[in-house]
Structure 1
């Protein structure tokens, strides 16, 4: 199969630095980097060193690939992700997903910090993503289709694996950690939403809103990777008039909920 040269060079560099056989990929959202403490680390590679790899520019994203093991499963974790609002093209945001595919990843666990739109949510809730709405983002598959990875028109009727959603709910129950379920609404950022936009997103069926994830999931599904997604609700969008939102508050809320998130992801890796 014909692999684009930039991907070939990036993968060749990684394989020279480490000879990974990985099954599971993990992408860590804002403030969720402590999950790496659950990994029996074998190798860390800075994004700066990998040819053609983007670099994280946002506080709360450290910027390295971490190879290791959890519960006997070989994994690669992205400690730091990329966002469209940083100035990257949509395809660049999702570039690491194709790297994971070429390294052997068949399952992707993806996380994010998100604003709660569902009026029944509160700060600190964990939401298993059952679906997403991507109309407010740029599709990363626009342009020449890379036949080596998937079809021109990939089916997105089940972007988040029903089997993994069920497993996620089961491990959360076993751990006695309450979880919500809902639809993630993707936006470009970097501005937080206006009050009118939060209301619109709620009317359109979104339960949470954020500036990441959907582009990565599109490329993963295109490549045949099964996806499980979970949001930590770090702020509430439909709120009292005098309240505002800051990125520091988002990071603080994510850090508070992070131990529960890590416990679920660790148990899910074991259950896969």
Structure 2
């Protein structure tokens, strides 16, 4: 796997602290208020991402900024608890840094989670949605600038950004567990403002089922590197334009925590078979 010099130094530092990285690691990135799945990891070791050379500093609430190595059953997992966002002022290449680090450590399968606002009126707050596709409304792209063919193609195909095999696996495991797993399109926006009623109507007209401020930049970088991607959204609130309630970060995190148990059950069933 190609990685640039900055990511290579961070990967080397992570290996010194975490020890040898087992082959076949699944990469996992957790969203706002969803880092509790770390408790499901056995044989856990960790390092703060602030200790990795060149790793941008996370400032968003609910994001721990820790890289963990552990196992879910027999499957090794590299987990980034917390992520970077464009609204923090980071450049797109920095937002994608974590995904590139995971790839540099040998990850070929990436599982992303996020907190999102539900746009489909049939969804329920606290539910889970598997992302089937996305709409990039951030106006940003981590692949801008000169392309290194060792990393990936200049024009990566995004017609199957989310792996169908992993999606089918998640659907099957949710059914076995008795969990309702919605499917839908995720609209990635710049943030940090939450959406107005008019913006919510626009997003529905565009075909979005949920909206959030992460994930899209990471998926673009992951697909450029050839990683298989599964993304699960925790629907922390419903955006219903004709009767919108005010939403706070504290409420989003509280709902994410309530849904974390179901998300953990799903991921601990999916990841060993990824």
Paired residues of 1:159 and 1:217 also in contact (CA < 8 A): yes
The runs of at least 4 aligned residues of structure 1 exceeding 3 Å deviation read 239-242
Partner of 2:80: 78
Q: CA deviation at 1:239?
A: 4.6
The 5 Å alignment of 1:129-148 reads 129-148=131-150
1:30 paired residue among 29, 32, 38: 32
Q: Which residue of 1 aligns with 2:258?
A: 256
Name the structure 1 match of 2:8.
8
Higher alpha-carbon deviation: 115-124 or 161-170? 115-124
Q: Which residue of 2 aligns with 1:46?
A: 48
Instruction: Describe the SS at the equivalent of 1:127.
Output: strand
Does the aligned pair in 2 maintain the 1:21–1:103 contact within 8 Å?
A: no
2:22 alignment partner in structure 1: 21
Q: Tell me how far apart the structure 1 counterparts of residues 88 and 43 of structure 2 sit (CA, whole Å).
A: 29
Over the aligned positions, Cα root-mean-square deviation in angstroms equals 1.3
Distance, in Å, in 1 between the alignment partners of 2:107 and 2:53 is: 20
Aligned partner of 2:169 in structure 1 is: 167
* Counterpart in the other structure of 1:205: 207
Number of the residue aligned with 2:113: 111
Q: How far did residue 41 of structure 1 move?
A: 3.7
Please report the TM-score for the alignment, with normalisation by the length of structure 1.
0.97
The 2-side partners of 1:50 and 1:148 are apart by 23
1:6/1:29 Cα in 2 relative to 1: closer, same or farther (>3 Å)?
same
Query: Within 2, Cα distance between the matches of 1:136 and 1:214?
Result: 9
The two structures have a TM-score, normalised by structure 2, of 0.96
CA–CA distance in structure 1, aligned partners of residues 50 and 7 of structure 2: 15
Shift of 1:2: 6.5
Q: 2:62 aligns with which of 60, 63, 68?
A: 60
Aligned pairs, number = 272
Q: Report the Cα distance in structure 2 between the residues aligned to 1:172 and 1:241, rounded to whole angstroms.
A: 31
- 1:92-131 aligned at under 5 Å gives the runs 92-131=94-133
Any conservation in 2 of the 1:137–1:186 contact (CA below 8 Å)?
no
* CA deviation after TM superposition for structure 1 residue 242, in Å: 6.3
Equivalent-residue separation in structure 1 for 2:217 and 2:148 (angstroms): 16
Instruction: Give the deviation of 1:84 after TM superposition.
Output: 0.3
Cα pair 2:33 2:62 within 8 Å, conserved? yes
SS of the residue corresponding to residue 169 of structure 2 reads helix
Offset, 1:231: 0.4
Cα deviation for residue 11 of structure 1 reads: 1.3
Give the deviation of 1:240 after TM superposition: 5.0
Secondary structure in structure 2 of the residue aligned to 1:27: strand
Distance, in Å, in 1 between the alignment partners of 2:244 and 2:92 is: 35
Provide the secondary structure at the position in 1 that maps to 2:124.
coil
Out of 68, 71, 87, the residue aligned to residue 69 of structure 1 is 71
Provide the rounded CA distance (Å) in 1 between the counterparts of 2:164 and 2:2: 31
Matching of residues 182-261 of structure 1 within 5 Å: 182-241=184-243, 243-261=245-263
Shift of residue 241 of structure 1?
Answer: 4.2
